[in-house]
Structure 1
Amino acid sequence: MIGYDPASTKNATKTQHTVAGAVSGVFTRAVCQPLDVIKIRFQLQWEPLSRNAPNRGLYTGVVQATGKILKDEGVKALWKGHVPAQYLSVVYGSTQLLTRMWHDFVVPVIPVTWANEYSPVTHFTCGSMAGAVATLTSFPFDVIRTRLVAQGEPKLYSGMFHAATSMYAKEGVGSFFRGLTPAVIQTAPLIGLQFGFYNFFIDLWNKSSWVSSQKEKSQLTIAAGTLGSGALAGLGSKTLVYPLDLIKKRLQVRGFEEAREQFGKVVVYKGVWQCLHTTVQEEGFLGLFKGYTPSVLKASLVSALHFAFYEWALYAQVTMS
């Protein structure tokens, strides 16, 4: 598993792993929330993002969108949906524990050579199972977060609890799970790929001639390996599953059309395949990658910070215990 310093954290308890994951999720989300807001706004925009398009949309780029949101809605708008997003962070941060538990279960029942020589495969499997569980338990927060980010001014929902009660009263329990299918399809491999990529890149880093030649790794070397491997893990995993994230977001705001009218054309999608087909047909294949730039920036930053905060929190607990 992951550790700030393998020698000092290998005996960390499951509770310490859980706390470290939760702390990491909270800090990472607070820093990266503005990029998430911009990404979601891009994903929900039907019109082209290009500033040269004849029917260009409200947002045409990261810098322009940031300025537009600040001007029209104020600084706080960049942290819309932050409260339910924090609940998401805590749940996903805690998948560190689930992954470790699955790891302890899976390794004894597979060939020893696989567990040792192909550890990224083991981490991919454990991360995927943990990710699927995390998605099912946290999905309502994801839907509420998306709707809070999607709305402009004046707000349809005043906050997380108002959104939850309004959704239940007007749309029923099913509204909390719209977009669940692409979410499960996306999240299981996303978490798995992230762990797999991270362990692959950190192994390459540790085996590099420059690092392996050091008799004792400095804290700078450890931090550089963690941040770099985490960023590459986030970039690689997010790119492979990005279209599913876009489809999920578009399905999550079904029944929320009145709050989207001020942003441009509103399209209602009935399901995964219809959303996929309509998006490609009307917006082209690249339409599936709207919001990719802020998403990649966020994914790389989140992944790097998540592992860094996680390892720092774990190391701090172990050294203080």
Structure 2
Amino acid sequence: MASVLSYESLVHAVAGAVGSVTAMTVFFPLDTARLRLQVDEKRKSKTTHAVLLEIIKEEGLLAPYRGWFPVISSLCCSNFVYFYTFNSLKAVWVKGQRSSTGKDLVVGFVAGVVNVLLTTPLWVVNTRLKLQGAKFRNEDIIPTNYKGIIDAFHQIIRDEGVLALWNGTFPSLLLVFNPAIQFMFYEGLKRQLLKKRMKLSSLDVFLIGAVAKAVATTVTYPMQTVQSILRFGRHRLNPENRTLGSLRNVLYLLHQRVKRFGIMGLYKGLEAKLLQTVLTAALMFLVYEKLTAATFTVMGLKSTHKH
């Protein structure tokens, strides 16, 4: 129990949250482009920069940063929960032994499930806020009018019921493999590099963070598209019973997408997503590693995790 409530887990959680917020803020416009490409099927522009230029031209210079605060709040909570759970479980399970790729994957998966169940309502609200006021090409999308995070929660519960806050939970649970795959590759690459040298440079950390995220994103991207559509939940064409995004709905949406756009329709917005997540993850891991190392040095503690 002590290791679950340990100071070390807290340091990892705070460093993970700060790292992700810093990185997301820097690359936020890329995420805006990705979300538009996923949800607004009738948008003709295929490339990230073309979509961003269109958004700026039609909706103003700050439009790529629309919904920044709710996203950052959700990300902060989400990463705090994820890093705290991941490092607590690792401390309990590994207990001074050497960590292995299999253990990292299992711990990453469990941490991801805990994270999804606790933070999905935040992500549903911020997907809605991020797309509010957007000029859609698809006329089947019902516009929203929320005054902020609290008002969005209130309106969704009032109009769609409490379970609507967990829209897209099923694909989100499947997507737990994304951070699990990412952490498995990240920890594995880190172990390999540490065999060859004593210490990793900032560039090493940045690069292995980027590679780990690129692999995880490409493998799980079609499910992310379905997740965005279900969370947004404002399409008039949605199948019945979309509440938790059952397997039937996920398969229905994947099938519709392939039928209308071919197999590449599943990867619409991948370029923007890869650019954003790879750079974001790399920068996040860099800030995370530096912050944890600096905090442990200042506090005169040594990290007990063996890699």
TM range (shorter): 0.7 to 0.9
1:40 is displaced (CA, Å) by 0.5
Structure 1: runs of 5+ lacking an equivalent: 1-10, 48-56, 258-265
1:91 is displaced (CA, Å) by 2.5
Structure-2 change in CA distance of 1:164 and 1:12 (3 Å): closer
Match of residue 103, structure 1, among 70, 87, 90 = 90
Match of residue 172, structure 2, among 164, 179, 183 = 183
1:99 is displaced (CA, Å) by 0.8
Distance 2:28 2:85 in 1: 25
Match of 1:164 in 2: 153
Residue 157 of structure 1 aligns to a residue whose secondary structure is coil
| 8 Å CA contact retained: 2:20, 2:281 | no
Give the fraction of aligned pairs with identical amino acids, expressed as a percent.
26
Match of residue 77, structure 2, among 91, 114, 117 = 91
1:198 is displaced (CA, Å) by 0.3
CA deviations 1:127-162 (Å, max 9, x no partner) are 111011111111111111111222316962233222
Distance 2:8 2:94 in 1: 18
Name the aligned partner's letter for residue 169 of structure 1: R
Distance 2:24 2:49 in 1: 20
Distance 1:286 1:320 in 2: 50
Residue 75 of structure 1 aligns to a residue whose secondary structure is coil
| 8 Å CA contact retained: 1:250, 1:269 | no
1:119 aligns with 2:106: no
1:105 is displaced (CA, Å) by 3.0
Name the aligned partner's letter for residue 136 of structure 1: L
Matches within 5 A, 1:168-247: 168-187=157-176, 189-208=177-196, 212=197, 217=199, 221-247=200-226
| 8 Å CA contact retained: 1:81, 1:144 | no
Match of 1:4 in 2: none
Distance 1:69 1:253 in 2: 19
Q: Does 131-140 or 83-92 show the bigger shift?
A: 83-92
Match of 1:301 in 2: 279
Matches within 5 A, 1:58-77: 58-77=44-63
> Stretches of 4+ moved more than 6 A in 1?
none
Distance 1:304 1:58 in 2: 30
Distance 1:243 1:315 in 2: 36
Distance 2:257 2:191 in 1: 39
Match of 1:38 in 2: 33
Q: Which has the higher helix share?
A: 1
| 8 Å CA contact retained: 1:24, 1:93 | no
TM-score, normalised to structure 2's length?
A: 0.83
| 8 Å CA contact retained: 2:70, 2:129 | no
1:269 is displaced (CA, Å) by 4.1
Structure-2 change in CA distance of 1:160 and 1:59 (3 Å): farther
CA deviations 1:277-321 (Å, max 9, x no partner) are 111112211111111001111121121111111112212322332
- In the alignment of these two chains, the number of paired residues is 277
| 8 Å CA contact retained: 1:23, 1:90 | yes
Distance 1:287 1:63 in 2: 19
TM-score, normalised to structure 1's length?
A: 0.80
Distance 1:229 1:196 in 2: 11
Name the aligned partner's letter for residue 280 of structure 2: V
Matches within 5 A, 1:262-281: 267-270=237-240, 271-281=249-259
What's the RMSD between the two structures over aligned residues?
A: 2.2
Match of 2:302 in 1: none
Match of residue 138, structure 1, among 90, 106, 119 = 119
Name the aligned partner's letter for residue 306 of structure 1: M
Distance 2:150 2:44 in 1: 29
CA deviations 1:3-45 (Å, max 9, x no partner) are xxxxxxxx97222222212211221221122111111100012
Distance 1:320 1:243 in 2: 43
